[in-house]
């Protein structure tokens, strides 16, 4: 469905977020930790560059979680039986989320240490 109006495309994106919130515990966990990090930043008040890095890694980790969840759902729908290649693909996607979550935690730690 190409060439749809912006409001319709945004509606689909918001529906994706709602579905992820409803059905994916990992998505809710990512939202929780990104929110916690931003609250910590509001308390510690690091330099603007740290805010930019935190928002960027937070958005990337949430985006990666959405991609991971969509990949898992699609793979499970297309091939409901266990298969080592599908398991490996799902594990790699989860690893991408973990890498970004670790990067966010390191950035938060460095930002807090820079304010001491």
- The full set of domains in the chain, from first to last, is 6-115 (1.10.287.3610)
Alpha-carbon gap, residue 61 to 55, rounded angstroms: 10
Report pLDDT digits (tens) over 44-80: 999 999 999 999 999 999 999 999 999 999 999 999 9
How high is the pLDDT of residue 105? 95
Is residue 116 over pLDDT 90?
no
Alpha-carbon gap, residue 11 to 17, rounded angstroms: 10
How high is the pLDDT of residue 101? 95
CA dihedral 60, 56, 10, 13 (to 10 degrees): 20
Sign (positive/negative) of CA torsion 108, 111, 115, 116? positive
Report pLDDT digits (tens) over 91-108: 999 999 999 999 999 999
The tokens of 56 are what? Answer: 């960027």
- Residues of the chain with pLDDT > 70, as a percent, come to 99
Q: Over the chain, what is the mean pLDDT?
A: 95
Strand blocks (E) in the chain = none
The tokens of 22 are what? Answer: 């409803």
Q: How confident is the model at residue 2 (pLDDT cuts 50, 70, 90)?
A: confident
Model-level pTM?
Answer: 0.89
Is 32:104 a contact under the CB 8 Å cutoff?
no
Q: How far apart are the first and last CA of the chain?
A: 52
């Amino acid at each position: 469905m190409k060439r749809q109006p912006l409001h319709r495309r945004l509606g689909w994106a918001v529906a994706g977020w709602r579905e992820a919130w409803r059905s994916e515990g990992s998505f809710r966990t990512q939202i929780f930790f990104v929110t916690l990090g931003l609250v910590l930043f509001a308390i510690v008040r690091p330099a603007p560059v740290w805010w930019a890095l935190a928002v960027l890694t937070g958005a990337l980790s949430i985006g990666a979680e959405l991609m991971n969840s969509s990949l898992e759902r699609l793979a499970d729908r297309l091939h409901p039986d266990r298969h080592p290649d599908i398991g490996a693909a799902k594990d790699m996607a989860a690893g991408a989320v973990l890498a970004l979550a670790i990067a966010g935690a390191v950035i938060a730690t460095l930002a807090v240490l820079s304010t001491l």
